[in-house]
Structure 1
């Protein structure tokens, strides 16, 4: 380019000054135009959590429409649609042609012309569904956890990277990250309120979620795939085990406290006390994570009836302690007592409020990196419990164990893997 083609400094300043003067009007007009454009939402996975996510999405923005639903089974889809229509008849624009049932329903939802996809199927499917949504250029709300095995986590990490390049939003269903009280608590911890963290103890002690029905109750002619999908929580490839599917929230808060730096290694104890028929998940796991400088994190997970319950977080630092007891407000006790006294909005709603606001603003949120770290931390703990081995972060991240079958079809044979036995089950 020669000098004659370059604008003079005076011309440049005149042009840029005019642009600066016009910028507020241009920006407000652009934002107003963006708000006038409806965002079309597609839901994949129409169970209770998926329907709840759709309801939050419909309330998050004044100009959104739910236009497509997908599920492997028809009944939850019909129930979800009826419920959502009753609550938001003006925003639910789902025609019969945009109700998709089957193992490929997610593809049809993504291809239906939606802008935002809500992924809420059993987590074994999450990596595949996320990859498809990102490849198609869709913004995503992605329920927790993000995978049930290490290959799945690696896929999620790649999808998050591509989403960032494409300027697509990914908001994770690790809902406590969107809780105002917890945000303030962990901000204070990161700012040094407790000094250096010495140890963390997290609990997720609760009752069973969906006990496995006896094999004798399996209807004649029902194939392996359908049987396992209808009882998905009880199979490792679909749920990841209770530590991964439920207690991942507590693991995520450990990761949050440690500023999302992964642990060096982990050992764990676990097993099954209460028989669960054909199911192959444990009903209790205790994980012991080790960080640099001798810092330890302890995760206690149990899903057994008639036992003491606790879902809390206990942080021990050089200056004092931080405690989040159940759903109570966080407390930090050092030489002074701090207790959260601010706003308390619905964290499930905040996830979607912030997701849609980021899309409208053109600054999409991407939770991809930390949501993958938290998921792998939970899987790492399960690996340690199932094998009885010490599992390093590198071992977990590079594991070749693929739990989720490829090319799943309704009529395929899918033998149920036996319950893991520590000391006998091999790390792969």
Structure 2
């Protein structure tokens, strides 16, 4: 087994390739399959995961200028399919071809939907991403999948193995780390790569917000259904919010460093969300990412209500500094205060839409241009190591963590099966205690 996702030489070659892809360079021709390959100009898509984000991804795919039809939908719950179908049909009725017999429900629904399409949208809770991605690659499909791509080290290894197969098969894979498709970040990275602010030596990345939804437990729900309905609060499904949300900002740290950290240490806790509704996850994480060249980037995420929010990134180089945000800001200055670059926020394309526009353009032209899996897996695993560090209180080394055999996934997927984490008699779930909890 590899001890690192990329060697230094592989990383340099990968970054060169990534730079070409960002500029739209075609790598090769893709071997399209299904009806689209046989002569029809209709690209068939299947939606795997019909929650709000899945519906949004389908909305963006159907909003591209290409001849696309949604032909299959899959979810663990019929009500999610029904809600998604209604929302999409209200806007794209002519592009919807999903009769009841192609609406698949249950844990194995993805296996029925994926073979029917040319392109699959993988948008379930991230704990399922490794097995869904593996199946989509096995079925030779072009792929959009949401971040993060896994929730533990075994999941990351599965994703990387499938990614190698995707490369061999020349399957386009776009991952929903949309800042990579956002104009201000792309323009800033061009300048940073050209040396505008020198070598990056430190930085801060943040996702501080008030938290997300809760679905109260209903009478008659099995434990599996309850956790599935509240997937954000259970690590086998979500990975904790440092993985599910904060991966966006951590991805920028790795992108700007052209590397992943060699070790991570930090602290976190359940300070505000302590009740039974919040499963096992922490509500705050604060970590340090240490890179091979000695650079240290501070990473912070929290879910506290009633305080100021912050979602952005700042980095300091040997010649200057830069501030970035998802609201299309990018301000670069040298240390005398001279402005080197200030991104004009007017007229920027929606990066969520750009992901799909560029993916479906490549597919429609028969081009193999996108394989986002390597950097997505790297940034996802950086976030996972951050959770390992805050849960254990230990300094976690990259190579050791990647080799860990610590799967969170249940032994069996069924509504009457039990997840690995169960509540006590009071309905409270056990959670990590630094200094006591072992993660690897």
The residue number in structure 1 matching 2:208 is: 205
Give 1:411's match in structure 2, choosing from 411, 416, 424: 416
Give 1:102's match in structure 2, choosing from 97, 103, 106: 106
Query: Cα deviations across residues 211-251 of structure 1 (Å, max 9, x unaligned)?
Result: 464xxx4313x211111001111111110001000111011
**Distance between the aligned counterparts of 1:362 and 1:409, measured in 2?**
39
Task: Say whether the 8 Å CA contact 1:283–1:303 is kept in structure 2.
Answer: yes
Moved more, 340-349 or 151-160: 340-349
Task: Say whether the 8 Å CA contact 1:124–1:148 is kept in structure 2.
Answer: yes
Task: Say whether the 8 Å CA contact 1:284–1:302 is kept in structure 2.
Answer: yes
The residue number in structure 1 matching 2:395 is: 390
Give 1:81's match in structure 2, choosing from 85, 90, 97: 85
The residue number in structure 1 matching 2:316 is: 316
Gaps of 5+ in 1: 1-26
The residue number in structure 1 matching 2:59 is: 55
The residue number in structure 2 matching 1:427 is: 439
Query: Does 2:268 align with 1:241?
Result: no
Q: Tell me, what secondary structure is at the counterpart of 2:236?
A: helix
Query: Does 2:58 align with 1:46?
Result: no
Moved more, 413-422 or 271-280: 413-422
Task: Say whether the 8 Å CA contact 2:184–2:328 is kept in structure 1.
Answer: no
Query: Does 2:384 align with 1:379?
Result: yes
The residue number in structure 1 matching 2:181 is: 178
The residue number in structure 2 matching 1:285 is: 285
The residue number in structure 2 matching 1:157 is: 160
The residue number in structure 1 matching 2:257 is: 258
Q: Tell me, what secondary structure is at the counterpart of 2:237?
A: helix
**Distance between the aligned counterparts of 2:90 and 2:377, measured in 1?**
36
Task: Say whether the 8 Å CA contact 1:212–1:234 is kept in structure 2.
Answer: no
Query: Does 2:125 align with 1:122?
Result: yes
Give 2:41's match in structure 1, choosing from 34, 37, 43: 37
Task: Say whether the 8 Å CA contact 2:66–2:364 is kept in structure 1.
Answer: no
Q: What is the aligned-residue RMSD (CA, Å)?
A: 1.8
**Distance between the aligned counterparts of 2:103 and 2:318, measured in 1?**
56
The residue number in structure 1 matching 2:23 is: none
Give 1:91's match in structure 2, choosing from 91, 95, 99: 95
Could you tell me the TM-score, scaled by structure 2's length?
0.86
Gaps of 5+ in 2: 1-28, 423-428
Moved more, 238-247 or 285-294: 285-294
Shift of 1:294: 1.9
**Distance between the aligned counterparts of 1:307 and 1:59, measured in 2?**
36
Q: Tell me, what secondary structure is at the counterpart of 1:88?
A: helix
Task: Say whether the 8 Å CA contact 2:321–2:332 is kept in structure 1.
Answer: yes
Q: Tell me, what secondary structure is at the counterpart of 1:280?
A: coil
**Distance between the aligned counterparts of 2:193 and 2:236, measured in 1?**
35
**Distance between the aligned counterparts of 2:439 and 2:412, measured in 1?**
24
Query: Cα deviations across residues 277-305 of structure 1 (Å, max 9, x unaligned)?
Result: 16000000011011123200110100110
**Distance between the aligned counterparts of 1:267 and 1:211, measured in 2?**
30
The 4+ residue runs of structure 1 with deviation greater than 4 A are 33-36
Q: Give the number of the structure whose alpha-carbon radius of gyration is greater.
A: 1
Could you tell me the TM-score, scaled by structure 1's length?
0.88
Query: Cα deviations across residues 55-75 of structure 1 (Å, max 9, x unaligned)?
Result: 111122421110001111111
Query: Cα deviations across residues 351-377 of structure 1 (Å, max 9, x unaligned)?
Result: 001111111233221111111101000
Give the total of aligned pairs.
Answer: 392
The residue number in structure 1 matching 2:270 is: 272
Question: Per residue, is there more helix in 1 or in 2?
Answer: 1
Query: Cα deviations across residues 31-85 of structure 1 (Å, max 9, x unaligned)?
Result: xx97952110000111111001001111224211100011111111011111111
**Distance between the aligned counterparts of 2:344 and 2:40, measured in 1?**
37
**Distance between the aligned counterparts of 1:118 and 1:102, measured in 2?**
17
Query: Cα deviations across residues 124-180 of structure 1 (Å, max 9, x unaligned)?
Result: 000000001110111110100000001001111111110110111110010111101
Task: Say whether the 8 Å CA contact 2:235–2:280 is kept in structure 1.
Answer: yes
Q: Tell me, what secondary structure is at the counterpart of 2:60?
A: helix
The residue number in structure 2 matching 1:69 is: 73
